[in-house]
Chain A
Amino acid sequence: MSEATEATRFEPKESVAGQPFWDGSREGRFLVPWCTSCGEPHWFPREACPHCLSTEIEWREAAGTGTVYAVSVMPKPGNPMMAGREPYAVALVELTEGVRMMSEVVGGDPWTVAVGDPVTLGWEPLSDGRQLPVWQRAGDA
């Protein structure tokens, strides 16, 4: 658990649907919503399953592994909170569970991050104890 600090990123408000994810992040648990009615996971978190409209949503811990589906390196910050971090690699990461999320591939040379790279989950602490999921390639620091 991290101490409350200054925000160093845009720190999102929690939606009602997303709150279980953020709660899990405080304990380092990487949770993904699954519909117990049709058996499909989905991302982003919703109150109703986008496959069948069931509201029977169960949060399951995900493996924390995935591959880079698409990537773009930002030579300039995308918002003022990212100033000083550039260049950095924003990626769409396809989780082993099959859902895709936007994130950042951190810890290595951003210019070499490529589509298809395998990545594993890391956490970046936010100022309020929540953690933001980021991803790392094997071998990167």
Chain B
Amino acid sequence: MPHHPLRGAAAIVGVADDVSPTGMIEGTNRAIEARVIRAALDDAGLTLADVDGVFCNMGPGWAPSMELAEYLGIQARYTDSTTTGGSSFEIHVEHAAAAIALGLCEVAVIVYASTPRSDRKLRGGGGYRSRQTMGVTPTAEWELPYGLRMPMGAYALAASRHMAEYGTTSEQLAQIAVSTREWATMNPRARYQDPITIDEVLASPMQATPLHLLDCCLVTDGAGAVVMTSAERARDLAKPPVLVLGVGTCHTHNMISEMPDLTTTGAAVSGPKAFGIADVKPSEVDVAQLYDSFTITVLLLLEGLGFCPKGEGGAFVADGALGPGGSLPANTTGGGLSYTHPGQFGIFLLVEAVKQLRGECGPRQVEGADVAVAHGSGGVLSAMSTVVLGTEATR
């Protein structure tokens, strides 16, 4: 019997804990986490710069592993906020072992800190939500006072920077909305199905300079699901299998004010990784599903994923490259801009990519599509994940 591919593929190389006979330890949860992570890295003979996988099941906000990574200055290639109570950390080891075995990350940190006794004795309760532990999010303390409209304001800041650095124009951003709407005219389930013009985008109400209403995604209801199994088992099922050829992830920050470079997303890491695993070049992609929360999102993803050089996204989209008949058919449902956007659009990217590769898209079908990309963007250009998918022909 051949060994399971996970057997012996990963190891635990550093450990630390922090406890006291008083039943209490000093510091905020974040300070304690930083302390035990440093001790465990010292134990391993590694440094913070080596860490590319972050596992954390609790935090003050909505995204535990992303908040921790931002706090520690880690740009994570593997991220996991799985929370199952006391068994979270064994599950994290399981996930980390699989990730390391597959080369998705090299050095993973799993951490936990909690101070219920100190919270009760010294602080009158409150636990994770109390000020003394982690209850004040950095967003609340350092961003909320300034009244940035969210989420559009965060993307508007990125757009302002891209325009200043590369001369990108509002007309070029508008063209993304126009091309995406062209696809929606062929999707009877799209929220908006009438074609629009660049002038109409520019005349729509300003939301946060330089983004207009029609640069912004919809707010709709919506739902989706994806089922996966082994490639072997997939052969015997009802529909032609769509193979996962490559995957890559990178989160660079949680708050927009902490994004290292407002014109470079983690797609510049996740994309090459996914394409590398898939052994596919961006030029070989037949159809792309690129998270279009805002027009600027698409432009940044085109550059990050390598569909065009950095800074040239505006010129790339200007001739309708993303629309029907274009060189890179993209967001063929009509996207978050015209089809649907319930807040987290990523599931719809996967569903449409699969339908395109199965040839099920009717009038909006990209003929002969064998390779598709679904690229999700979470937070405020924070967490990037690229999935390269292919038909049986690409096996």
Residues in A lying within 8 Å of B, measured CB to CB:
9-18, 42-44, 46-48, 50-53, 55, 69-79, 81-82, 85, 88, 90-92, 100-104, 111, 114-116, 132
A-B contact pairs, 16 of them (CB 8 A): A12-B136, A13-B135, A14-B136, A15-B138, A44-B257, A48-B34, A53-B34, A55-B31, A70-B160, A72-B153, A72-B211, A74-B147, A74-B148, A75-B206, A76-B149, A77-B147
Cβ of B161: which chain A residues have Cβ within 8 Å of it? Answer: 69-70, 115
Cβ of B140: which chain A residues have Cβ within 8 Å of it? Answer: 12-13
Most buried by B among A17, A48, A85, A101: A48
Question: Which of A69, A72, A81, A102 meets B156, CB within 8 Å?
Answer: A72
B95 within 8 A of A: no
B209 and A85 contact, CB distance less than 8 A: no
Q: How far is the CA of A16 from the CA of B141 in the complex (A)?
A: 11
Secondary structure at the A interface, as helix, strand, loop or mixed, is loop
A14 and B141 contact, CB distance less than 8 A: yes
B160 and A74 contact, CB distance less than 8 A: no
A47 and B28 contact, CB distance less than 8 A: yes
Of residues 144 through 171 on chain B, the ones whose CB sits less than 8 Å from some CB of chain A are 144-150, 153, 156-161, 163-165
- Which single residue of chain B is at the shortest CB-CB distance from A85? B147
A70 and B157 contact, CB distance less than 8 A: yes
Q: How far is the CB of A39 from chain B (nearest CB, A)?
A: 15
14 other A-B residue contacts (CB within 8 Å) besides A75-B205, A88-B147, A102-B257: A9-B145, A9-B147, A10-B147, A13-B131, A14-B131, A15-B131, A16-B28, A18-B141, A44-B138, A47-B30, A76-B207, A78-B153, A90-B148, A104-B146
Contact with A along B187-220 (1 / 0, CB 8 A): 0000000000000000001111111000000000
Contact with A along B163-187 (1 / 0, CB 8 A): 1110000000000000000000000
A53 and B145 contact, CB distance less than 8 A: no
B147 and A72 contact, CB distance less than 8 A: no
- Which single residue of chain A is at the shortest CB-CB distance from B143? A102
- Give 6 nearest A-B pairs by CB, closest first: A50-B73, A48-B34, A47-B31, A115-B164, A82-B147, A78-B147
Q: How far is the CA of A71 from the CA of B255 in the complex (A)?
A: 15
A55 and B34 contact, CB distance less than 8 A: yes
Residues in B lying within 8 Å of A, measured CB to CB:
27-28, 30-31, 34-35, 37-38, 41, 47-48, 71-73, 131-132, 135-136, 138, 140-150, 153, 156-161, 163-165, 205-211, 255-258, 262
Cβ of B147: which chain A residues have Cβ within 8 Å of it? Answer: 9-10, 74, 77-79, 81-82, 85, 88, 90, 104
Q: A15-B141, A16-B132 are in contact. Are A72 and B37 (CB under 8 A)?
A: no
Q: How far is the CB of B132 from chain A (nearest CB, A)?
A: 7
Q: How far is the CB of A73 from chain B (nearest CB, A)?
A: 4
Most buried by A among B138, B165, B205, B256: B138
Cβ of A18: which chain B residues have Cβ within 8 Å of it? Answer: 136, 141-142
Q: How far is the CB of A77 from chain B (nearest CB, A)?
A: 6
Q: How far is the CA of A55 from the CA of B159 in the complex (A)?
A: 36
